[in-house]
Structure 1
Amino acid sequence: MEGTLWCLHGGVGMAEDWRGFSVPGWAVKRVDLWRFLDCCPMSLREFGRALNDEAAARSGRKVLMGYSMGGRLALHALMGGGSWDAAVVISAHPGLEDLTERATRRARDAEWAARALKSPWSEFLEAWNRQAVLDRGSSATELRWGDRSKLELRRASVARSFVDWSLGAQDPLWGSLLGIRVPLLWVAGEEDGKFRALAERAVACGGFDGWLAPGSGHRVPWESSQFPSRVGEFLERSVS
């Protein structure tokens, strides 16, 4: 066996989101991000160190894969060193550079935190999926995306993520992308305009491989049938 893909889900996501995802020759470790917040607050950088420590205790080749919020968390792990052999970052934001935008984002995410903690769970989920970046007007993606009702049991940790792991709480990483020393594939959906532009800039800044998934929006791993094979091709040429 080649090694293990450590897969990090997105905001309001679950480790189970990666069920069914596979790349020939690789095991898949579906990481439950909420367990890092179940106990107490944890910053983005603290998460990176914690994940790197966990990975260091495992033998074999290790590839870090993160989607959206999980992609931002993956970047913090990669910049903290770690024993990673390669990485795949999907639909992720390296950080807001304007202080006013960061403050605005923190305030907006504080509102999301309150809704995640106190609103009826179904209403919170409906509002979350109505966001322009996620709303593709297709039930097919939602069916693949999975049932979120069981996530209500973790609502305190979900709420905490909107504070501790807010994009507004994240220092911009643009100037640090060159410090990532492992092969990295940066993925975005061709029809996800904002994150497509971010991906193109990140690829140029970091000298990474890039792929724009045809016909896909933000949720590339669940919208693109080509995604597993593209990851496999990248790993075949990048991880010896």
Structure 2
Amino acid sequence: MTDTPAGDRPLVDTHVHIFRKTMPLVPDPRHAPTYEFTAEQLQGVLDAHGVQFCVIAAASPWGDCNDYVIRSLRTRPRWRGTVILDPSTDLYTMEQMTRDGIVGVRLPFISMKTLPDLDSWDYRKFLYRIAELDWHVHLHLDGPRIPQVLPQLERSGVKLVLDHIGRPDPVQGIHSEGFKAMARAMENGRTWVKLSGAYRLGPQAAEQARELCRQVGTDHMVWASDCPFVGDEATKYQSTIDWLANVVPDAAERRKIMGENALRLYFS
């Protein structure tokens, strides 16, 4: 068991991955793990750190091969998940996924040189179905390009979760248009930000997280580890908890970020 005091342990980890070695990788994946991280291994890590709930994030190396995630959710009522889907996916399939524990769609746009047209018929229909199911869009995109898709996503009425602190602009940081657009979206009340992935993002991560908290508060912030840290496996789970304690020194605010907010977003 971690030495973290019981009152400061995360209750919900909102971004973790599970995968098997036998799962097919998409062509030219961003990462190509040669190992597996199973549901059972993840449960062991969560138990060791006192984490009771989690959200499995669909991972871009496996595209829309969501099979293992869905099967793992079916027997774990304290787990939820997101999926990667083709925008033409029919309503009946999505309704069954809801029963299995799926609560959102991840859009891994960070891998795309050209962003898709969210005003196309397929995407307008897709976003309508996501909103009707009360799912959320889990957007993974570099900060400078976030303003290119936020207007369409907000108009669609979906709940929106921005990955990894909005992936800060490495040059302009909190002065960038991406940061400003993210802060405005949070103020509108249907956008959440994951305080996660700092180990990938450099010194801008802490600055951006602190400034977001200062400008818009913590009601729409959630915490995540990004375990098992694909591509940077030397990262320790505890370090992601310690990072949040450094960024948000107020214990009551941290408990909200690590628990209450996530329960309301993913489990209500």
Name the TM-score, length of structure 1 as normaliser: 0.40
More helix by share: 1
RCO greater where, 1 or 2, for CA within 8 Å and sep 6 or more? Answer: 1
